[in-house]
Amino acid sequence: MDKKEIEEKYGKILKNWSFSTEYTEKTSIYVKIIGLLILGASFIYSIFSENYLFSMIIFLIVFIYYFESSKKIKEKTKTTNDFYILEDGILIDEEFFDWDSIKEFYIIYYPDEKIKKIYFKLKNILISRIYINIENQNPNKIREILNQYIEENLERKYEHVSDRIEKFFKF
């Protein structure tokens, strides 16, 4: 979709840039095997000890991991994405989120640590948050534009925990 089509469909483009998706599969097979063995042993223990709540928690962990990893496989096929801040919402490639579907945003910007992200917390239960790499954009200009439409969470100062865990284990 070109910029003219985007403006006709979603309103005036206030800011846009392309960002890279930094996903590479670096988790060793040994870490995955050990994790599966621990989860499997825990599941078997929970069944024998008749602790069905624990077995449900293990099942949910596997379920969440499966959907998170399938989302990353989708991201892996595409290295650059287009991001637009529009009058009616935000557009990430072909996926549009109107302002009513976004609860808040926060910017995590630590250039020395190579952390330059904007997070959007969504009202959707299935997709609770998305983040965009800011790349070489001015975070203050982005903040100024977004504050006109949605509330900023000024209490968030760090990356999301799952992103830090991913970096640590190099998922």
Type of residue numbered 164: R
Residue from 99, 105, 108, 162 nearest 133 by CA = 108
- pLDDT at residue 146 in the model: 93
Name the CATH topology of 3-21+78-169: PH-domain like (2.30.29)
More confident residue, 86 or 26: 86
The chain-wide mean pLDDT, for the chain, equals 81
Rounded distance between C-alpha atoms, residue 67 and residue 63, angstroms: 6
How many CB atoms are located within 10 Å of the residue 43 CB?
A: 17
Rounded distance between C-alpha atoms, residue 157 and residue 126, angstroms: 24
Mind listing the pLDDT tens digit for each residue in 137-158?
Answer: 888 999 999 999 999 988 888 7
Type of residue numbered 13: I
So where are the chain's domains? 3-21+78-169, 29-76
- pLDDT at residue 24 in the model: 47
- pLDDT at residue 91 in the model: 92
- pLDDT at residue 73 in the model: 44
Its sign, for the CA torsion 111, 115, 116, 120, is: negative
DSSP class per residue in 12-75 = -EEEEEEEE--------HHHHHHHHHHHHHHHHHHHHTT-HHHHHHHHHHHHHHHHHHHHHHHH
Its sign, for the CA torsion 32, 38, 44, 46, is: negative
Mind listing the pLDDT tens digit for each residue in 93-139?
Answer: 888 999 999 999 999 888 887 788 899 998 887 777 888 888 788 88
More confident residue, 18 or 169: 18
Residue from 80, 65, 98, 78 nearest 166 by CA = 65
Confidence band (pLDDT; 50, 70, 90) for 170? low
- pLDDT at residue 145 in the model: 93
- Asked if residue 64 has pLDDT above 60, the reply is yes
Rounded distance between C-alpha atoms, residue 90 and residue 97, angstroms: 5
